[in-house]
């Protein structure tokens, strides 16, 4: 692993797909952890934040965990953005680079953000529905780290966190779902309302405050206090299985009633994605959704979900901009150039054109 | 020649293109002729109209002109529509089939409508800018026919016609032009206004009352009285050359200023045309215009103007409906089925798929 490999490559652990990969893009478990007797990150001085980051890296080394550490201060804003686009860090880590960083495992399944809202945000992210696997892996990692880091823990409350909503297990489980049929049939409103009542949050794919694009939704538990880790994971797992079933049924209905117009919708998206010379990320997200549906319904056979998952990353602004910066360093890049480059990335990926210039 | 060959085939003389074929789709000369001492068609009884049609066919035979005669009474409304779509007859001939027909030359360059507004409407239609050739050919034909038909002619006024606007030479010269750049640059309004002042009429491609679609315009002389045939043809020829020059310049400007967005516009049209599963004729006309421009600017190399000219015919409602009727005779055809079949015709033509089912 090196920084360039990490940043140039749109392939990452979760893009390889998995169980129910037609509907469940990825599954994530993250733990919020803080070191005892240290102010939470927003109260840390710059020097103390850097010191804490060092302490975390030492603990990783002592625990024999070979993680690649990226210091936010050493990479450009665009490169930080790319880590968000790969879902290896949260947008919140971008607010201030000082003393912040992320440790990434070789396969990019695990990342540990340092000095985000909490001292540590440990996450495990897999493709498909894999909440249990992610929980098992993160639990082992958490144990190992706790041997070399003194976590802030209260016998009554559990793990202490910067924000009270994370107190307790400090665990958040989330999944990224592709729900085009439920969306088109206007069934998400009702479903999401009842999910909200059950204590789940529904967001766009870049987390809090982000809009839903391309029929993609992130669903996560809101409540952690009073639930065991196992409860949280199992509850979300059950909900995702139900949602996947509802989406599968909705797709059947949709294609049964609108076979021709759905085929037309999907093939037009393919035609545009493989031919357009300029494309905004919003349009790309929208067309990607149609292609994903086309692959799932065996209408589009020229590509697959793994490639489409990678596209989900490589069409994002940071990724496109880094590609352009590599070709022409230090140049001012316009939206037009970015949209042009994005269209090229999409064509090359979908038509298997290997463009090594 | 037989009726099926004439109606199944989207290829016709003018689709093969010609001089300035990037801009000038086709050139047409038509003569209005009437037989002396016979009421004009709208005053003819049914029996008299049929008798007159027979007389014309006899004259053709006597003049050794091997024309294929299509009696409007013997073909279905859809098939009549196809003859309009191939520009072999005018929409006016569809108003009433009784006693009406058209004689078509083997290469489909010449057609003689019988009992349209006048007893005879003789037209010669070539691809590209070929008004002189069309005039020369039609003049020879007119001479031959006049040997066996007694034309209504007045020494003072010239040829007598049902509508006073045609009296004199009875000649109308027209061209079908593709003017996407002038249209996009909003320069057609001013140009067409001055053409109107000069006595030219600008119409859509299916003649009087038809809308302009796909940046295609039909330009013809309005005045015939007081001008010689040579004058009319030469005046239109000069105007077309000027228009073609203006359009060429406008294309250069358009692509210079908007290279990327024009390429995107053209490639998207290609992507949609080669992938869509459903397409209205209005959208097809619009996308065809983009492809034609793409071919002209050497952006699209996968097709050519000859194929696009044929598409201009085969995407029309009558043509599509006949194809569907051939596959499933006597069935009720919905707009959805027609749009589906149109998209298939387009894909097959553009991707060179030979679909012989």
What CA–CA distance (Å, rounded) separates B200 from B215? 18
Cα dihedral: B233, B238, B239, B244 (round 10): 120
In terms of domains, do B220 and B159 share one?
A: yes
What CA–CA distance (Å, rounded) separates A149 from A57? 10
Q: What is the pLDDT of residue A128?
A: 98
Provide the number of CB pairs (under 8 Å) joining chain A to chain B.
54
What CA–CA distance (Å, rounded) separates B219 from B131? 12
In terms of domains, do A235 and A263 share one?
A: no
- Most A CBs within 10 A among B275, B291, B334, B340, hence the mutation to make, goes to B275
In terms of domains, do B70 and B157 share one?
A: yes
In terms of domains, do A17 and A31 share one?
A: yes
B268 phi and psi, to 5 degrees? -65, -40
Tens of pLDDT, residue by residue, chain B (357 residues): 788 889 999 999 999 999 999 999 999 999 999 999 899 999 999 999 999 999 999 999 998 888 999 999 999 999 999 999 999 999 888 888 889 999 999 999 999 999 999 999 999 999 999 999 999 999 999 999 999 999 999 998 899 999 888 888 899 999 999 999 999 999 999 999 999 999 999 987 665 555 678 999 999 998 776 788 999 999 999 999 999 999 999 999 999 999 999 999 999 999 999 999 999 999 999 999 999 999 999 999 999 999 999 999 999 999 999 989 888 887 788 999 999 999 999 999 999 887 544
Cα dihedral: A275, A278, A281, A282 (round 10): -80
In terms of domains, do A204 and A329 share one?
A: no
Min Cα distance B329 → chain A (Å) is: 22
* A17/B227: higher pLDDT: A17
Q: What is the pLDDT of residue A211?
A: 61
- DSSP notation for B294-342: HHHTTS--SS-HHHHHHHHHHTSHHHHHHHHHHHSTT----HHHHHHHH
Q: Do B276 and A267 touch (CB under 8 A)?
A: yes
CATH of residue B220 = 3.30.590.10
Q: Do B271 and A267 touch (CB under 8 A)?
A: no
| Chain position carrying tokens 């929208």 | A286
Q: What is the per-residue pLDDT across A80-111, written as a single tens digit (0 to 9) for each?
A: 999 999 999 998 888 888 899 999 999 999 99
Host domain of residue A280: 258-355
Q: What is the pLDDT of residue A304?
A: 96
Residues on chain A touching B275 (C-beta within 8 angstroms): 267-268, 270-271, 274
In terms of domains, do A158 and A292 share one?
A: no
B122 three-state secondary structure: strand
- Do residues A194 and A43 make contact, with C-beta atoms less than 8 angstroms apart? no
The 3-state secondary structure of chain A, one letter per residue: CCHHHHHHCCCCHHHHCCCCCCCEEEEEEEEEECECCCCCHHHCCHHHHHHHHHHHHHHHHHCCCCCEEEEHHHCCHHHHHHHHHCCCCCHHHHCCCCCCEEEECCCCCEEEEECCCCCEEEEEEEECCCHHHHHHHHHHHHHHHHHHCCECEECCCEECCCCHHHCECCEEEEEEEECHHHHHCCCHHHHHHHHHHCCEEEEECCECCCCCCCCEEEEEECCCCCCCHHHHHHHHHHHHHHHHHHHHHHHHHHHHHCHHHHHHHHHHHHHHHCCCCCCCHHHHHHHHHHHHHHHHCCCCCCCCHHHHHHHHHHCCHHHHHHHHHHHCCCCCCCHHHHHHHHHHHHHHHHCCCCCCC
Q: What is the CA radius of gyration of chain A?
A: 21
Nearest CA in chain B to A344: B264
What CA–CA distance (Å, rounded) separates A234 from A242? 12
The domain boundary, picked from B226, B253, B280, lies at: B253
Where is average pLDDT lowest: A1-5, A156-160, A251-255, B10-14?
A1-5
Predicted confidence band at A355 (pLDDT cuts at 50, 70, 90)? low
Percent of chain A with pLDDT over 90: 82
What CA–CA distance (Å, rounded) separates B7 from B88? 11
Q: What is the per-residue pLDDT across A192-203, written as a single tens digit (0 to 9) for each?
A: 999 999 999 998
Q: Do A267 and B260 touch (CB under 8 A)?
A: no
- List CB contacts of A343: < 8 A, sequence separation 6 or more: A276, A277, A278, A279, B264
Predicted confidence band at A207 (pLDDT cuts at 50, 70, 90)? low
Beta bridge partners of A203: A218
Residues on chain B touching A340 (C-beta within 8 angstroms): 260
Predicted confidence band at A78 (pLDDT cuts at 50, 70, 90)? very high
Nearest CA among A82, A124, A81, A117 for reference residue A103: A124
What CA–CA distance (Å, rounded) separates B185 from B253? 9
Min Cα distance A276 → chain B (Å) is: 5
- Compute CA distances A129 → A174, A205, A322, whole Å: 10, 16, 31
Q: How many CA atoms lie within 13 A of A316 on its CB side?
A: 25
Residues on chain A touching B267 (C-beta within 8 angstroms): 275-277
- Do residues B26 and B87 make contact, with C-beta atoms less than 8 angstroms apart? yes
What CA–CA distance (Å, rounded) separates A19 from A88? 21
Min Cα distance B260 → chain A (Å) is: 7
Q: What is the pLDDT of residue B328?
A: 82
In terms of domains, do B216 and B272 share one?
A: no
Predicted confidence band at A352 (pLDDT cuts at 50, 70, 90)? confident
In terms of domains, do A46 and A188 share one?
A: yes
In terms of domains, do A315 and A289 share one?
A: yes
Burial grade of A185 (CB within 10 A; 0-12, 13-18, 19 or more): middle
Q: What is the per-residue pLDDT across A217-276, written as a single tens digit (0 to 9) for each?
A: 999 998 776 788 999 999 999 999 999 999 999 999 999 999 999 999 999 999 999 999
Nearest CA in chain A to B278: A264
In terms of domains, do A275 and A309 share one?
A: yes
Q: What is the pLDDT of residue A167?
A: 85
The domain boundary, picked from A253, A281, A314, lies at: A253
Min Cα distance A256 → chain B (Å) is: 16
Residues on chain A touching B270 (C-beta within 8 angstroms): 271, 275
Measured N-to-C along each axis, helices A131-148 and A46-62 cross at an angle, to the nearest 10 degrees, of 100
Nearest CA in chain B to A266: B276
Q: Domain tally for chain A? A: 2
In terms of domains, do B122 and B268 share one?
A: no
Nearest CA in chain B to A338: B260
Residues on chain B touching A278 (C-beta within 8 angstroms): 260-261, 264
In terms of domains, do B109 and B65 share one?
A: yes
Residues on chain B touching A260 (C-beta within 8 angstroms): 277-278, 336, 340
The domain boundary, picked from A211, A234, A253, lies at: A253
Q: What is the pLDDT of residue A357?
A: 40
Interface of B with A (CB under 8 A): 260-261, 263-264, 267-268, 270-278, 336, 340, 343
Tell me which long-range contacts A17-20 makes (C-beta under 8 A, separation of at least 24). A17/A127, A17/A128, A17/A305, A17/A306, A17/A309, A18/A126, A18/A127, A18/A128, A18/A129, A18/A130, A19/A128, A19/A129, A19/A130, A20/A128, A20/A129, A20/A240, A20/A244
- Most A CBs within 10 A among B258, B260, B284, B294, hence the mutation to make, goes to B260
What CA–CA distance (Å, rounded) separates A38 from B159? 106
Residue A340 has pLDDT above 90, yes or no: yes
- Do residues A102 and A83 make contact, with C-beta atoms less than 8 angstroms apart? yes
- Do residues B112 and B155 make contact, with C-beta atoms less than 8 angstroms apart? no
Q: What is the pLDDT of residue B210?
A: 58
Residues on chain A touching B277 (C-beta within 8 angstroms): 260, 263-264, 267-268
Residue A116 has pLDDT above 90, yes or no: yes
- Do residues B66 and B106 make contact, with C-beta atoms less than 8 angstroms apart? yes
Q: Against a cut of 0.90, is the pTM above it?
A: yes
Measured N-to-C along each axis, helices B305-314 and B317-327 cross at an angle, to the nearest 10 degrees, of 70
Mean per-residue pLDDT, A166-172? 89
Residue A209 has pLDDT above 80, yes or no: no
Neighbours of B220 (CB within 10 A): 20
Min Cα distance B245 → chain A (Å) is: 29
What CA–CA distance (Å, rounded) separates B320 from A293? 30
């Amino acid at each position: 692993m090196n920084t360039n490999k990490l940043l140039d490559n749109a392939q990452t652990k979760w893009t390889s797909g998995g169980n129910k990969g037609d509907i469940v893009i990825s599954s994530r478990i993250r733990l919020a952890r803080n070191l005892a007797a240290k102010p939470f990150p927003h109260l840390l001085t710059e020097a103390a934040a850097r010191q804490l980051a060092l302490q975390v890296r030492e603990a990783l080394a002592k625990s024999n965990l070979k993680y690649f550490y990226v210091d936010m201060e050493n990479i450009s804003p665009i490169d930080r953005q790319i880590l968000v686009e790969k879902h290896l860090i949260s947008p919140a880590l971008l607010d201030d680079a000082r003393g912040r960083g992320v440790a990434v495992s070789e396969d990019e399944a695990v990342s540990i953000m340092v000095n985000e809202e909490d001292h540590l945000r440990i996450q495990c992210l897999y493709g498909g529905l894999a909440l249990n696997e992610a929980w098992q892996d993160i639990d082992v990692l958490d144990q190992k780290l706790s041997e070399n880091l003194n976590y802030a823990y209260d016998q009554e409350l559990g793990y202490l966190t910067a924000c009270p909503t994370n107190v307790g297990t400090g665990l958040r489980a989330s999944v990224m779902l592709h729900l085009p049929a439920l969306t088109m049939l206007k069934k998400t409103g009702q479903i999401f309302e009842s999910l909200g009542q059950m204590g789940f949050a529904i967001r766009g794919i870049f987390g809090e405050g982000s809009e839903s694009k391309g029929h993609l939704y992130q669903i996560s538990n809101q409540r952690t206090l009073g639930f065991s880790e196992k409860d949280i994971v199992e509850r979300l797992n059950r909900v995702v299985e139900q949602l996947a079933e509802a989406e599968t049924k909705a797709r059947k209905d949709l294609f049964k009633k609108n076979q021709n117009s759905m085929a037309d919708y999907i093939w037009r998206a393919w035609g545009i994605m493989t031919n357009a010379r300029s494309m905004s990320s919003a349009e790309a997200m929208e067309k990607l959704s149609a292609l994903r549906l086309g692959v799932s319904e065996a209408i589009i056979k020229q590509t697959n979900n793994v490639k489409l998952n990678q596209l989900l990353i490589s069409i994002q602004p940071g990724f496109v901009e880094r590609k352009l910066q590599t070709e022409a360093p230090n140049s001012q890049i316009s939206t037009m150039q970015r949209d042009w480059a994005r269209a090229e990335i999409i064509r090359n990926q979908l038509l298997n054109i290997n463009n090594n210039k």
